[in-house]
Structure 1
Amino acid sequence: MLQLEAITKDAQLAGLDPNDIVRVVSVEPVGTDALTVYFKGSDGNLAEQMLLPTNRARLVIVGVSCRFQCADWAAQRDAYVPEDLLQGLRQRKRPGGSSDGVYDCFR
């Protein structure tokens, strides 16, 4: 199960929006057990959500900023991301047909 502390700026998350994978813009701790997460969906709209420990089961980190090495992250990704979701991300392309650097981590 995802630890809330693992949610960081530029993480790609499934589970915040039931119909989209979102990119975390900012994270603010709220007390000792909660976070307010500011994120953008694929439509570019900014949203926020307060997360409590009870929300952890529905969240999955599906991508990271390309500031990190993809190979270093691959083992963690494979342990937590369902294969059908990975397949969809591997096929995702940017408009114009070029691949997105974040999604290159799924190849």
Structure 2
Amino acid sequence: MSDVRGLVEQYIAVWNETDAAQRRALIADVFTEDAGYTDPLGAVTGHDGIDQFVGGAQQQFAGLTFSLPADPDAHHDLARFQWHLGTPGAEPVAIGFDVVELADGRIARVHGFLDKMPG
């Protein structure tokens, strides 16, 4: 479980990394080459698609950060976890729930759900 926790923490770090080169390096570490990401706002595949999607979210929610409110729950090659988006110490402006499929210690697929969104 500690390996999954570490991978999920790296996943959250991808969403918080605003330096493009460092974010790309994190994406390469966290995701398989052909990884897919799907949530109600979009669906992308591969490192380029994930990088562009994350960059767009960072522009939309500038100044806010993602965090893990609790440990992920995992079994076999699956993990699920809730995330918060907001300012540390304040009520989150967005809350989501992701299910990830794992392959060889990296994320192969993300299935994202949005529980709370601003406006």
**TM-score normalised by the shorter chain: which range applies?**
0.3 to 0.5
**Larger strand fraction of residues:** 2
- TM-score, normalised to structure 1, is 0.35
- TM-score, normalised to structure 2, is 0.32
